[in-house]
Every structure is written in structure tokens, then in C-alpha cells.
Structure 1
Amino acid sequence: MKWCVPLCLHGLWCGIPCEASVRSREADSDQVRYRFNGLGRGVLSQSLKWLIEEIEVVEEMI
């Protein structure tokens, strides 16, 4: 993984907020909600799969 991907995931992409970071934060808040509602691992693993796909898209853009 390249050094700029973690920066992007933390919301820094050359000083500009990154769309992947916004999506990552949305996925994190969704996971917390799913855990709180007790919807189980199926939903969490689906969110994790989506997040991994987003990271791959960012790597391809670089």
C-alpha cells in the first residue's frame, strides 16, 4: 500500500478532504449503528468488503 492511501483515508489528500475518507467515516458510523442494533456479522462484513473495494479504487487512482 502506498503512503498516500493512509493519508487519504484520514481525510488528507494534498490538503483537500478526500471522498474516500468521507465514505470511510460513513461506513464506520454505520458499523457502530449495526452493532448497537444487533444486526450481526453479515452486515458488518458487507461494510468491510465495501471499504476494501473503496481502498482498491483509491490505489488505482494513484
Structure 2
Amino acid sequence: MNLDQIKIRTIKREDFDAVVKIDSSVFGATRPEYYEGKFFCSMEVKDQMVASISIINLELIP
């Protein structure tokens, strides 16, 4: 993997489905309720640290 291709950015609402899909492939179960809370905190609660994600070739990577 070429590290120059990896981009780090702030997580966005439209990343939700991809994050749930990655989580499901790692843990073997879909847990959208868990990430709904995480996304709410990162998007709406001002005193929370905003998570970041890694992207390669325009796709989220675990």
C-alpha cells in the first residue's frame, strides 16, 4: 500500500453506512445503533472530539 494514497479527514454523516459495513465485516454483526450514538456525538455535541477516517481510492479503509 502506498501511504501517499491515504487521506485522513473528519468523519461525515454520509460515511455512516460505510462505517457500519466495515464494522460488520470485522465483528460479524451489524451494529448501526452503536454507531448512531457515535455519529451523533461526533457531529452534534460540541465538546466531543471529532473522529477521523482513512480513505484510499475514494473508499473508507479499516
User: Given the two structures, how large is their TM-score scaled by the length of structure 1?
Assistant: 0.34
User: Given the two structures, how large is their TM-score scaled by the length of structure 2?
Assistant: 0.34
Which structure dedicates a bigger proportion of its chain to strand? 2
User: Which protein, 1 or 2, shows the higher relative CO under an 8 Å CA cutoff with sep ≥ 6?
Assistant: 2
Which structure dedicates a bigger proportion of its chain to helix? 1
